[in-house]
Amino acid sequence: MELDDLKDTWNKGKKQIESRLTLNERHIHDLIIQKSQSRFTALLGISIIGRNLALLYMGVSVWFAYTMIDELAYSIPAFIGAAAMLFSFIQHRSLKQPDFNSMDTLTLQKCISQFRMHTAKMGKYDAAIVLVWIVTLTPIILKQRFRLSIYTDPANFITFFSVVLLISILVILFSGKIYHKWDAELAESENDLKKIEVFEED
Amino acid sequence: MHLPLIYLRHKNKYSLECDFLEDLATNLQNLNLNMRTPIATEQFVQILKENRGILFKIINTYCKDEEDRKDLEQEIIINLWKSLQTFSGDIKLSTWIYKVAFNVSVSFYRKDALRKAKTSSLSVSIFNETDFGDPKEDLNANHVLLHDFINQQDEFNREILILYLEDLSYKEIAEIVGITESNVGTKINRLKKKLKEYFNHLKQDSIWN
């Protein structure tokens, strides 16, 4: 049996399916009216929003640092937090939405694999950056909003750094499990990408 | 049916050969209707109606689980609808449908984030089957074997195989899949060889049994 001989079989099968199928037009109209978002596009959208939020967080840190520019114990850490957020934004600047319409299958799949590899690789840094940002911004907020001085009141200083220490220990303790998950995702995405490249070259 | 849409969006770029469509497009312009009117929705449904057979086949090739299938149907519909807004008309409508449907199906098949993020299942399908019996019962043995052969292939070879069976040229297949025309030829020759072996193997099995 030749593949070309089966074209006729294929078309007959398709016609037969068409004759027994009708469309649930109401459901299609509902989908369009609700403007439901594609799940994958939504996930990428969240990542892109997250990347842009890093700029906003950077702005918050810079603004707070500026308001206490003369108190270096507060402003310098806040600038460090802002720099960390800027670093995060730059790391994620390559993120772009895949286009199911214009991209061919292999380009799209490469884009998705690279996106997943990127998020798995950067996940480790992102968690640390958020932690740095919170730790560097909290003293200023406590000082400005609640009149709690971390650096002049020993009790506040001990409480704050005890909390930071506790969170750091928890992060270290659980990072093994989290890192393992990211590493597994990274390996899976690398395999996916390799498969595409092999298919392309073969 | 989609020509008036193209005309409305690209009236300086495209010309219409059919007077009826030209009149229809003019009337729509006079009514000050745009792409996102109910008429565009009706046209979209008409496009889906005309291509329901191939959409059903693609979805069933890449998805075996019923709930997953409904999920994939929805993903394809949403992506087709959204991409209709940017459809330039520089490729054939059928090529555009294949491209979007395969892109979504292959992504779905490759167990990407959208499947992992699945939180709820949909109970409604976009397809209504008038006969709920086993579709395989009505089809001849070759059709069933062909489907089994397609299902044995990886996600990319499945796509090439279906596009070939749909009678697309090597150039069109290359454009949709993203490989060179000569590579399409090589892969189709390999698939032909594999198919021969598959049928020979089945023949031998039936002799021994």
Q: How confident is the model at residue A94 (pLDDT cuts 50, 70, 90)?
A: confident
The answer to whether residue B97 sits within a structural domain is yes
Q: Which residue has the higher pLDDT, A67 or B118?
A: A67
* Closest residue to B179, CB basis, from A2, A41, A200: A200
The answer to whether residue B43 sits within a structural domain is no
The parent domain of residue B16 ranges over 1-38
Q: Is B180 on the interface with A (CB under 8 A)?
A: no
Whether residue B11 sits in one domain with residue B66: no
> In this structure, how many other beta carbons lie within 10 angstroms of the beta carbon of residue A87?
15
Per-residue pLDDT tens for A143-185?
A: 988 888 888 889 988 999 899 899 888 877 777 777 777 788 8
In this predicted structure, what is the pLDDT of residue B156?
94
Whether residue B163 sits in one domain with residue B119: no
The backbone torsions φ and ψ at residue B129, rounded to the nearest 5 degrees and listed phi first, read: -95, 125
Q: Is A3 on the interface with B (CB under 8 A)?
A: yes
Cα of A167 vs its chain's centroid, Å: 22
Per-residue pLDDT tens for B145-177?
A: 888 999 999 999 999 999 999 999 999 999 999
The torsion angle over the Cα atoms of residues A185, A191, A194 and A195, rounded to 10 degrees, is -120
- Nearest chain B residue to A106, by CA: B178
Q: Find out whether B24 and B2 touch, Cβ atoms under 8 Å.
A: no
The answer to whether residue B26 sits within a structural domain is yes
Between positions 35 and 94 of B, the ones with CB within 8 A of A are 41, 44-45, 48-49, 52-54, 56-57, 71, 74-75, 77-79, 81-83, 86-87
Number of domains in chain B: 3
Between positions 111 and 170 of B, the ones with CB within 8 A of A are 112-114, 117-118, 124-131, 135, 138-140, 142-143, 146, 154, 156, 159, 164-167
Q: B52-62 and B155-165 helices cross at what angle (nearest 10)?
A: 160
> What kind and span of H or E run contains A31?
helix A25-34
In this predicted structure, what is the pLDDT of residue A40?
62
The backbone torsions φ and ψ at residue B169, rounded to the nearest 5 degrees and listed phi first, read: -75, 165
Q: Find out whether B21 and B3 touch, Cβ atoms under 8 Å.
A: yes
The answer to whether residue B57 sits within a structural domain is yes
For residues B158 and B181, give the distance between their C-alpha atoms in angstroms, rounded to a whole number: 17
Q: Is the pLDDT of residue B183 over 90?
A: yes
> What kind and span of H or E run contains A21?
strand A21-23
Whether residue B120 sits in one domain with residue B55: yes
Q: Is the pLDDT of residue B17 over 60?
A: no
Residue partners of A114: CB distance under 8 A and separation at least 6: A189, A193
Burial class (CB in 10 A: 0-12, 13-18, 19+), B94: middle
Q: Is B196 on the interface with A (CB under 8 A)?
A: yes
**Residue B33, helix vs strand vs coil:** coil
